[in-house]
Structure 1
Amino acid sequence: MTADHQVQQTRFGGGTPAVTANFGDQEYQGLPGGCADARLRGDSTPRQLCPGNKPRATVNPSLSL
């Protein structure tokens, strides 16, 4: 998703589920560095997964998967 490959997305079986991971330190479209968004079949918004004490961003509905 980014030229430096710090933000990557994987889609499974037709697009859902999808996982977007931010391997960088900077926030990208509402996804904090070091966190991942997972959208499962039936989800209206992604589930944000952040290790440890990383701050969670508010869900950004304009970030389409």
Structure 2
Amino acid sequence: MDDLREGDVVVIRAFDDWPEHLFEVDETFDDCVSGYSITGPLAGVYGEPGFELIKSVAYRAVRSA
């Protein structure tokens, strides 16, 4: 997951009482990403999920050449 960039959308796996949901990446760090949930009960909420919570990349942001 070290190739994630701002604007990418990832799938965060279900954990605790939270269902699987989409999350837009704002910034990446050594062990997590920061950004906002865009679906589910956490929509609009800022978070910093660890890489272990990222199930997959839903889609990539448009990259300029």
TM-score (norm 1): 0.30
Structure with more of its chain in helix, by fraction: 2
Structure with more of its chain in strand, by fraction: 2
TM-score (norm 2): 0.30
Higher relative contact order (CA 8 A, sep 6+): 2
